[in-house]
Amino acid sequence: MIVTLDGPAGAGKSTAARALAARMGWCYLDTGAMYRSVALVALERGISLDDSAALADLAGTLAIDFRAGRVMVGDRDVSGEIRTERITQATRPVADAPSVRAAMKQLQRRLAEGRDVVTEGRDQGSEVFPWAEVKVFLTASADERARRRHREEAARGVTTSLESVRAAQAQRDEGDRVRPVGAMQPAADAVILETDGLSADEVVERLATLVAGKRPGASPP
């Protein structure tokens, strides 16, 4: 069975997807981590972020995988390195390139083949797994998302103002929305789950209820 969880940054997707996958004993596919991994290796190899052909070649050959909750490129654990601000910035042009997206779509489908999966991203329900049995678009108000992000950053010792977190978030949201291929949008048949005022546990509870209401059956085209 495939469950897709899409939505803007700061909506609580990762926490919810990870927790739901653990609860069901299913695989968790963090597709943002896949784009980040391509960006990391591109920077290391000196590939220009404007060179979409070279980026697509790279994306088509990288052995990105998830093992025991870690993000792997071949045998290398990149889980920590892909989370820096530098990589967040570099991931934008990588994720904007349609040919990179095509390569990632193939890889995401391959990773999900024959498995029960909770997959998280921007385009999982709309583009990559249109046949998924459960599609959720997780969202929260811009204020709530900025407050959450600000709290997380403060907990990591990063001192930024709430205002600058909110401005950066608005910019990312806009970039995600206007991307010509793979733009963030709820699939027509997605359930929209607004998480303002819900705890992480309550979100997982709602997702588990949606999953319980479905049966495996629909298969890929």
- In the complex, the residues that contact ligand C5P under the rule CB under 6 A are 9, 31-32, 35-36, 91-92, 95, 121-124, 176, 182
Whether 193 and 28 have beta carbons less than 8 Å apart is answered as: no
Q: Which is nearer to ligand C5P, 119 or 207 (CB)?
A: 119
Q: Which is nearer to ligand C5P, 15 or 212 (CB)?
A: 15
Q: Which is nearer to ligand C5P, 73 or 215 (CB)?
A: 73
Q: How far is the CB of 184 from ligand C5P (least distance, A)?
A: 7
Phi, psi of 27 (to 5 degrees): -80, 150
Q: How far is the CB of 166 from ligand C5P (least distance, A)?
A: 16
Q: Which is nearer to ligand C5P, 24 or 169 (CB)?
A: 169
Six-digit token string for 122 = 């921007």
Whether 72 and 66 have beta carbons less than 8 Å apart is answered as: yes
Q: How far is the CB of 118 from ligand C5P (least distance, A)?
A: 13
Q: How far is the CB of 175 from ligand C5P (least distance, A)?
A: 7
Q: How far is the CB of 212 from ligand C5P (least distance, A)?
A: 25
Q: How far is the CB of 36 from ligand C5P (least distance, A)?
A: 6
Q: Which is nearer to ligand C5P, 1 or 185 (CB)?
A: 185
Q: Which is nearer to ligand C5P, 12 or 32 (CB)?
A: 32
